[in-house]
Amino acid sequence: MDTEEIIQTLKQVRDYLAPLQTPYEQAIYNYLFRWSYLETGERSVRKGKRTIAAESGAPRFGSSISYAAVDENLRSLEKKGHIRIGDVTREGTLYTILLPIEIPECIRLMHERHQLPEGPPDYFGDPAKRREIFERDQWVCHYCGEEVTEENACLDHLIPRSKGGESTWNNLVTSCLECNSIKSGKTYEEAAPLLLERIKQRRMRRAKDKER
């Protein structure tokens, strides 16, 4: 996580996760978060329960948390899906810390309050963004090189959406109506022979028109 992501995550912990936790659970979750993500950048940390008991309570409660309470709250955190409890060795138990964006209950709360970070810009659905692609391609079809107009300009997904292609700056190209309908749903490799055939036909048609 970079600094920006850590700040974002801490806000989400404060706003969406903490309200779902008891004070003891919060103290233990924050303690594990501090020794994993904030200390090593790892998702997991290995700690003994006695260490957790001795160290996690003091900042908040002014004293250690009892071993029994630590044990109980670790299990309730796991039950809530806020941490995962892994294997036990001499050095302690391995705890994996789940982030608010990985916890369904938090995700639901975030959606409710529209606090999820915005997705990438939609270059396909947003008219202003579509125009940016047409401008970039100078209103010329990527496949046949014909000029396109406001009326017949299309955007084509290089990697089709059906194959996981997204509506991003790099995956969209300007295309004319004709090439777009040939290319639709196909990869470039699949569509290339058909596109070339159509371009040839168009050229021949034009040559004939000239002869007349």
Binding stretches for Zn ion (CB under 5 A): 141, 143-144, 176, 179
User: Which residues does 39 contact at the CB level (< 8 Å), separation at least 6?
Assistant: 45
Question: Do 83 and 97 form a contact (C-beta atoms < 8 A)?
Answer: yes
CB of 132 to Zn ion, least distance (A): 19
Nearer to Zn ion, 99 or 191 (CB): 191
| Separation of alpha carbons 168 and 124, rounded Å | 8
Nearer to Zn ion, 64 or 124 (CB): 124
Query: Which of 196, 14, 192, 2 is closest to 115 using CA atoms?
Result: 14
| Separation of alpha carbons 107 and 15, rounded Å | 12
Nearer to Zn ion, 39 or 147 (CB): 147
Strand order across the beta sheet in which 44-47 lies: 44-47, 92-97, 83-89
Nearer to Zn ion, 134 or 143 (CB): 143
Nearer to Zn ion, 111 or 202 (CB): 202
Q: Where are the alpha helices (DSSP H) in 13-136?
A: 23-35, 49-56, 58-61, 67-80, 104-112, 127-136
